[in-house]
Amino acid sequence: MSAKLAKYALLLVFILAGFWAAGRFLTPTENTHFFAGKDARIRKIGRFFAGTDGQPQSYAPGAYIEFSFSGSTCEVLLEDEQRFGRNHNFIVYQIDQQAPVRIALSRKYNSLKISGSSDNKKHFVRICKATEAAIGYIRLVGLRCEKLHQIKAPKVLLEFIGDSITCGNGADDSKVPFGKGSWYAYHNAYESYGPLLCRELGADWQLSSVSGIGLKSSCCGLRFQMPQVYGFVGFNTCKEPWPIAQHRKPKLVFITLGQNDKLRAATNYEASYIKFLQQLRAHYPKATLICCNSPMATLTDKALQNQSIQRVISKFRQLSGGKIHFFAYNGVYRSGNDKHPTLIEHRRMKDELLGFVKTLLPQ
């Protein structure tokens, strides 16, 4: 055994020993094998980076993994940052065509046992981080199953840049009634409008969103704005640089920012917006940029946003050319916690976007 292989084997023993000691790992059988989280057959979509011992780790809401396995069951081993010693991430997992399941992680190290229908030889699994960066990271330690299979990636990636709306904050009261839980008890990034749209289109998604954030001014005590933190893996939570140039480029980029700016100073907001669009254009020269008004804004605020964003687009076209559009949500979606859109309203938002987006993508 080489020194490198011996080092890896020893590291794996320590990882597995931690799970066995805590009673959270299935007893190995002759028919199952352990696959490290960084295995190339496990797709990682979103702002994943190499965390402890090189395994994939992410802070970003909506970041997800996909894989295909053989056998009746698979055990997935996830580390939760357990930020501040008490915060736990929610995740959503879906296997084959079964309904998505949303659960809260409960420990530092978590074992998720998933089962497929017996009539399928291969099973497809997707596991998504439902909470945002401020709740901490999740890390995929690995999984145990009979066999892993290669899966094909969708051709198109869409990116959604925004605030709490894009995070899916305040949307899901299936575990805790609105107004009765912590501020992140209602997060469900998986069922937010962006991922819903992408699943209908057969596309990948990436969410770059932070609750309370704006372009020129943020709310809720945030001392930063999206242009300042867009280039980090954890936004302001973790300032490790996100190497944008090394990653897959989105076909469409949606920007839904303005609800927290309140347009108290529209001129400053518009100047910041234009600079951010130039920043995005430098990263994604071929992408189509779509500037959206806020789905939860009142009709009065929507009118102000519509005027302001269209001025931004007009100025940006003069400076940088085309491939930029305006999209206005007609509905006012604010029936969830703290006046955020509910899960039902996220589906309506997706429906509003769908026809428009189909005109921009090749059939």
The CATH number for 125's domain is: 2.60.120.260
| Residue 1 located in a structural domain | no
**Containing domain of residue 20, as a range?**
7-149
| Residue 363 located in a structural domain | no
What are phi and psi for residue 165, nearest 5 degrees? -60, -50
| Residue 39 located in a structural domain | yes
89, 207: one domain: no
One pLDDT digit (tens) per residue for the chain, 363 residues: 444 444 443 344 334 434 433 334 445 555 889 999 999 999 999 999 998 789 999 999 999 999 999 988 999 999 999 998 889 999 999 999 899 999 999 999 999 999 876 666 899 999 999 999 999 999 999 999 999 999 999 999 999 999 999 999 999 999 999 999 888 899 999 999 999 999 999 999 999 999 999 999 899 888 999 999 999 999 999 999 999 999 999 999 999 999 998 766 678 899 999 999 999 999 999 999 999 999 999 999 999 999 999 999 999 999 987 899 999 999 999 999 999 999 999 999 999 999 999 999 976
44, 101: one domain: yes
Query: Could you give the 3-state DSSP secondary structure of residue 133?
Result: helix
Indicate the residue among 149, 180, 197 that finishes a domain: 149
239, 181: one domain: yes
> Which tokens belong to 330?
């007609």
Q: Which amino acid is at 281?
A: R
192, 68: one domain: no
On the 0-12 / 13-18 / 19+ scale of CB atoms within 10 A, 57 is buried
| Residue 350 located in a structural domain | yes
Q: If residue 74 lies in a helix (H) or strand (E), which one and from where to where?
A: strand 73-80
Return d(Cα 258, Cα 293) in angstroms, integer: 7
Sheet architecture: strand order including 288-292:
204-209, 157-162, 252-256, 288-292, 324-327
Return d(Cα 47, Cα 41) in angstroms, integer: 18
16, 121: one domain: yes
123, 217: one domain: no
What pLDDT is stored for residue 115 in this prediction? Answer: 86
Indicate the residue among 93, 118, 149 that finishes a domain: 149
Task: Please choose, from the candidates 229, 178, 172, 225, the residue with its C-alpha nearest in 3D space to the C-alpha of residue 196.
Answer: 172
Q: What is the DSSP string of 296-334?
A: TS-HHHHHHHHHHHHHHHHHHHHHH-S-EEEE---S---
Whole-model pTM: value is 0.91
97: left (phi over 0), alpha (psi -120 to 50) or beta: alpha
Indicate the residue among 149, 180, 203 that finishes a domain: 149
104, 167: one domain: no
| Residue 2 located in a structural domain | no
What pLDDT is stored for residue 13 in this prediction? Answer: 37
| Residue 143 located in a structural domain | yes
220, 131: one domain: no
Residue 316: CB partners within 8 Å, gap ≥ 6?
Answer: 274, 277, 278, 324
| Residue 83 located in a structural domain | yes
64, 131: one domain: yes
What pLDDT is stored for residue 10 in this prediction? Answer: 36
| Residue 327 located in a structural domain | yes
96, 235: one domain: no
188, 171 Cβ separation under 8 angstroms: yes
Task: Please choose, from the candidates 134, 74, 118, 123, the residue with its C-alpha nearest in 3D space to the C-alpha of residue 96.
Answer: 123
| Total number of domains in the chain | 2
Residue 223: CB partners within 8 Å, gap ≥ 6?
Answer: none
What pLDDT is stored for residue 143 in this prediction? Answer: 96
What pLDDT is stored for residue 72 in this prediction? Answer: 84
Helix segments in 64-207, DSSP class H: 164-167, 193-201
121, 216: one domain: no
143, 168: one domain: no
What's the CATH number where 193 sits? 3.40.50.1110
Q: Which amino acid is at 283?
A: H
Return d(Cα 261, Cα 268) in angstroms, integer: 10
